[in-house]
Amino acid sequence: NRIHYKEQFMAIERTFSIIKPNAVAQNVIGEIERRFEQAGLTIIAMKMLKLTREEAEGFYAEHKGKPFFAGLIDFMTSGPMIVQVLEGENAIHHNRELMGATDPAKAAPGTIRADFGSHEQVSANAVHGSDSPISAAREIRYFFTEDELFPH
């Protein structure tokens, strides 16, 4: 019915986001956070950390065995990054739209990956964002405990 439809459409979600090492190194953390905030997504948790290889491999376990896996792990352990939780209406899809396509060279103009990702190295695409509710729940749990989340 109408009420059910509206509730689904307006769902407040949480998604997991990373500002990857290349974006931190380029000093554009603030530029990226501004885009999330101006789009109506709220940062309800964040920290800066440098991943070990074991942590990076666990996070990207679904990609193990793919040709880009070793390069991705090298890149994700190359420097500090920001891990965070964003909350808002349709946060998972909304964040994916703001990010743009995986390959920065193919991402739509004005997206975060087009503007801050490397056009030579797909792994260095500036940001990560969960691709489904199940991934979001797993990824948030991978980096945060419940008492590290601060919903408004």
Minimum separation from the CB atom of position 37 to ligand UDP (A): 21
Euclidean distance between CA atoms 85 and 105, whole angstroms = 26
Nearest to 55 by CA among 27, 33, 80, 26: 80
Is 122 a binder of ligand UDP (CB under 6 A)? yes
Neighbours of 26 (CB within 10 A): 14
**Helices 91-99 & 29-38 angle (0-180, nearest 10):** 130
Minimum separation from the CB atom of position 44 to ligand UDP (A): 21
Question: Per-residue x/- marks for ligand UDP, 41-80, CB under 6 A?
Answer: ---------------------------x---x--------
Residue 152 exposure: Cα atoms within 13 Å on the Cβ side: 11
Sole residue written with tokens 């997206």: 111
Minimum separation from the CB atom of position 88 to ligand UDP (A): 19
Residue of 4, 93, 94, 128 marked catalytic: 128
User: Does the annotation count 128 as an active-site position?
Assistant: yes
- List residues binding ligand UDP (CB under 6 A): 68, 72, 102, 122-123, 125, 128, 131
Where in the sequence numbering do the catalytic residues fall? 128
The binding site for ATP consists of 20, 68, 96, 102, 113, 125
